[in-house]
Amino acid sequence: MSKIAFVFPGQGAQYTGMAKDFYEKYAVSREVFESASKASGLDVKALCFEENDRLNITEYTQIAMLTAEIAILRAVEEAGIRSQVNAGLSLGEYGALVASGVMKEEDAFTVVRKRGIFMQEAYPTGGAMSAVLGTDAELIEKICDETQGIVSIANYNCPGQIVITGEETAVAAAGEALKAAGARRVIPLKVSGPFHCELLKGAGEKLGQELEKVEIQSFTVPYVTNVTAQYVTGPEQVKELLVSQVSSSVRWQQCVEQMIDDGVDTFIEIGPGKTLTGFLKKINRNVKALHVEKTEDLDEVRKECL
């Protein structure tokens, strides 16, 4: 019997038309779009399905991505596929929270709409992020520590791919130092803020105030948090971890390794793109990596898992 983890991608995988086929085919998916629109005050269907200039702006990206993920999740659940643990990268952690029953769907949409706004507004100019390829985490941590200004690791994605974040000048200086120290490539990312670093602490504090209005449910399916890469099994830690997550490193590689150590042998990526599936193949090629992005993917996963 497989031990299944549902995993949810973060910001950056979005595209116009995501989850549209699920919306058209499954009533449970249509209901998710209606719920998200009601909770956020936006026409989320138009945001996701019609060409527009908002989809790649953080305050809109996050609610759009989460809606697409939950719309697909509900169809996966309706097909009878169940997970034993869940996790998500950054924004995707909210997909994991809904899948685990930690947060009601409408509460997750309300919180994520605010999260996107707070992160968008937190540090609108002078921040940067870069992907560092082909060197180890210890060297990157050392160079970030030695670089003047604010720069740190945002994402431990997989072996050979780590993202740094912080003040624009500090990220550029650390990037040059890393290239000089042997990093294969340093690629500046097109982002609207220096996410997952101390410059976003204010956004996390504002998010905490919103989370005070939300009731965390008791849950039986655990999730693995980005902040510590450890299992969360009870409601008492959830809000504090979500506040920290905004300005903490995303320990995605460590999250996946933790789940594999605990016996997970099948990962199903739920949502746009195959980003996490790609990371998984670099973390451990011995586990099964599946994804559900289109309705035909669900048919394939159903054959594999049922």
Is the Cβ–Cβ distance between 123 and 129 less than 8 Å?
Answer: no
d(CA 180, CA 153): 18
Is the Cβ–Cβ distance between 151 and 101 less than 8 Å?
Answer: no
Per the annotation, the verdict on 291 as an active-site residue is no
DSSP state letters, 175-233: HHHHHHTT-SEEEE---SS--SSGGGHHHHHHHHHHHTTSPPPP-SS-EE-TTTS-EE-
Query: What ranges in the chain are assigned the alpha helix state H?
Result: 20-25, 27-40, 44-49, 58-78, 92-100, 105-122, 137-146, 168-180, 201-211, 238-245, 252-261, 275-283, 295-305
Identify any residues that bridge with 268 across adjacent strands, giving them in sequence order.
6, 290
> Nearest 5°: phi and psi at 96?
-65, -40
Instruction: Write down the catalytic residue from 35, 83, 130, 196.
Output: 196
Instruction: Write down the catalytic residue from 90, 152, 192, 248.
Output: 90
Is the Cβ–Cβ distance between 131 and 89 less than 8 Å?
Answer: no
Angular region, 114: left φ>0, alpha ψ -120 to 50, beta rest: alpha
* Secondary structure letter of residue 156 according to DSSP: E
C-alpha distances (whole Å) from 146 to each of 132, 139, 150, 279 are 16, 11, 10, 28
d(CA 251, CA 225): 8
Per the annotation, the verdict on 196 as an active-site residue is yes
C-alpha distances (whole Å) from 92 to each of 2, 50, 70 are 23, 22, 10
Point out the residues that are catalytic: 90, 196
